[in-house]
Amino acid sequence: MRPRYLALVVLALPLAARGQTALEQAFRDSARDHVHPVASVAESPDDTDLRSLGAMISRASVVGFGEPVHDGHEPLAMRNRLIRHCVTRLGFTAVALETCLSSSKRLFDHVLGRTTETDAALKDAFCYGFGDYTENLELVRWLRSYNAGQPPERKVRLYGIDLSGQYFPTAYLSLEAVLDFLDRADPALGRETRSRYADLIPIFRADKYPKLTAAEKESCTGKIQDLIALVRRERTPLTAATSIDDYEWALRQAISAAQDDAFLRSLPAQFDLGVPRWWEAFPPGKVWDYNAEMREVAMADNVLWVQQRECRRGRVFYFAHNEHIQAGPGILGSPGHPPAGQYRQIRGAGSYLRSALGPDLVLIGTYFGHSEGFGAAAAPPQGVHEVEDLLGSLSVPQFFMDLRDLPAGGRLHDFFGTSHGTRASVVREANDTVTPLGAYDAIFYVNTLTPSPPGGKP
């Protein structure tokens, strides 16, 4: 028993402190057959380096691709390249992004050629500032251009799958979207419904809702459920007056309001959006974990809605932060570096999708070696980022690795089946503790992360 115990101790030492190790040698040996280099994250007419992707995702109806931080150019550029490949080569007909569902109806209509909006206007169709990322607007332009030459059954649809509010004062936008739909479809019904919901709009937001009494929150929840019931009950006339697409979007926007309501109801009583850096005031705990997971449940349900809409046409490419892609819980913080925010752990949307889709889902997480151009980045704690250290030891700028190709046992399997701290920021000592084999089916590694042009937000 003693030799086996010593071997585990050696494995736990920081890679940087050991030089060439048996683990690194095993990784290099495995890499010859199981690591797939990518020539560039930039778009290329030659997709030879992406041929392995088809085998990696096989027949999965949903493929999730994660980014380690928001605002990094390389994951966004790689995402765009993968989407083009998946659409033109692998039969994908939908893209689902981490942005608000309700406002993304504008993006949905725009890429299908139903509306014409400028880039400046479309920025507002993304939430959380994602419209400022050049790569997001490039994706929208490409989808619109591609769709212009396709028959209806092959046009690619673009969806947002996130909440409209969460901690921002914008949850009411889903309600507004449903009321706008009713105004167009049935003006009389729209007027009547607006009058009933006039008092809900001003308080259905994160800076107002937590201050409501229990009875007032019950009233909000009841009214939102009544709105969903109304839209469902009037399906036939509302569809006849508009279209199947418009109706299904309105119903989903009403459901999205209910998702935001569930998120807001789960906020601790002491939550106050008006306090600067409010998240630093609360220690991690289960109540915050549950609150975070209401968002993850909503995102997963919305991806499943997209998959159900698309299943007869093609497949879905789902893009979000690694925390929303991964299956299994991610522990915020790492050994010796506890979480600085309110959450202790997050069971990502990928966990809920895995339970619903099983092998019909492939999840790809992204790791990066180091960052450049984001300002004075904090030095990572020594020994925390062992996965990045191992992946970077190949000296390959970017590559894919299918974790399912790992041997059933041995050093590599044990290493990737163990929890490790991984970079979750470029500007602070922020880490998530993730078990790669439990979180992802495959990994994309990029050595250098730079800001999305024309510059990043630290």
**For residue range 176-198, what is the model confidence (pLDDT) as tens digits?**
999 999 999 999 999 999 999 99
**Can you tell me the mean pLDDT for 412-423?**
89
CA distance 56 to 70: 25
Residue where the block lists tokens 């925010």: 341
Q: Is 168-272 a domain of CATH 1.20.1440? A: yes
DSSP secondary structure string, 45-84? S--GGGHHHHHHHTT-SEEEEEESSTTBHHHHHHHHHHHH
CA distance 393 to 171: 45
DSSP secondary structure string, 297-359? HHHHHHHHHHHHHHTTT-EEEEEEEHHHH-SSEEEESBTTB--SSS-SEEE-HHHHHHHHHGG
CA distance 191 to 118: 31
pLDDT in tens, 35-87: 999 999 998 888 999 999 999 999 999 999 999 999 899 999 999 999 999 99
**Can you tell me the mean pLDDT for 309-313?**
93
Q: Where in the chain is the domain with CATH 1.20.1440?
A: 168-272
Task: For residue 268, name the pLDDT band (cuts at 50, 70, 90).
Answer: confident
Tell me how far CA of residue 24 lies from CA of 36, 118, 242, 246, 250, in angstroms.
Answer: 17, 50, 60, 54, 53
* Percent of the chain residues past pLDDT 70, beyond the cut: 89
**Beta partners for residue 400, in sequence order:** 36, 444
For residue 324 the two structure tokens come to 């929303």
**Terminal CA-to-CA distance of the chain, rounded, Å?**
48
Could you say which DSSP state residue 116 is in?
A: -
What's the pLDDT score for residue 348? 92
CA torsion, ordered 33, 39, 45, 48, to nearest 10 deg: -10
Q: Is 11-100+298-449 a domain of CATH 3.40.50.2300? A: no
Tell me how far CA of residue 119 lies from CA of 109, 123, 124, in angstroms.
Answer: 14, 6, 9
Q: Please state, as a whole number, how many other Cβ atoms lie within 10 Å of the Cβ of residue 333.
A: 22
Q: Vertex 445, ends 444 and 447: CA angle to 5°? A: 155
